[in-house]
Chains A and B, each alone.
Chain A
Amino acid sequence: KAGVTQTPRYLIKTRGQQVTLSCSPISGHRSVSWYQQTPGQGLQFLFEYFSETQRNKGNFPGRFSGRQFSNSRSEMNVSTLELGDSALYLCASSSPGTSGGKEFFGPGTRLTVL
């Protein structure tokens, strides 16, 4: 099976702009989670989608939003970018009952905000 894919891999934006990141999960996986990784902060949970519905949400401002499509692909949007949004954004997919609770991560999108 192909792994989790994320596009684009690298992105440079300026403050105030908005950005959309894309994630394609492993075939058959219906759950997609998004994480932000910054130095010293580990992986901070953004949100999880399951069957097109947001199931869990982390403590991020409303500028961070997401959605999931019927084919389980997911997008994450960040509006009004701030310098502090520079981070590696990771997407992970899982399938309750078949992946044993494990999440499988994509390579991430490195976002730099100037």
Chain B
Amino acid sequence: DQQVKQNSPSLSVQEGRISILNCDYTNSMFDYFLWYKKYPAEGPTFLISISSIKDKNEDGRFTVFLNKSAKHLSLHIVPSQPGDSAVYFCAARFGNEKLTFGTGTRLTIIP
């Protein structure tokens, strides 16, 4: 049972444009959501997070949007840069329970 889903395995975006990565979840108990970025041969690095009491959180070029009614999370990267090319994982948790990860979306920024 995949409680966190990233339905797009890959995404290609032109440099300078907006990248939008999507994530859907099924467990309405999740109260904290995170995005991680992963380069090959490295561990995931934390990017940005959002609590369920908010619907938007912004950090520089990265903005995460949460739509609780739709159980949908998205990450916007503006403007996209070549160094953003990586695999992006969304993750969710409830309280002190384990983090549940999606399967990842490979983002490729085209120069």
Contact = CB atoms under 8 A, between A and B. Distances in A.
Q: Is the interface of B mostly helix, strand, loop or mixed?
A: loop
Interface residues of A, number: 25
Interface stretch (B14-22, B75-83, B91-99): B91-99
Contacts of B104: 42
Interface in B81-111: 89, 91, 93, 96-104
B98 A45 contact: yes
Contact of A101 (B6, B44, B89, B93): B93
Given A40-B103, A42-B103, A42-B104, A107 B42 contact: yes
Nearest to A56: B98
Given A43-B89, A107-B41, A56 B97 contact: yes
Q: What class of interface size applies to chain B in its complex with A?
A: 20 to 34
Interface of A: 4, 33, 35, 40-43, 45, 48, 55-56, 58, 90, 92, 96, 100-108, 110
Interface of B: 6, 9, 32, 34, 36, 41-46, 49, 89, 91, 93, 96-104
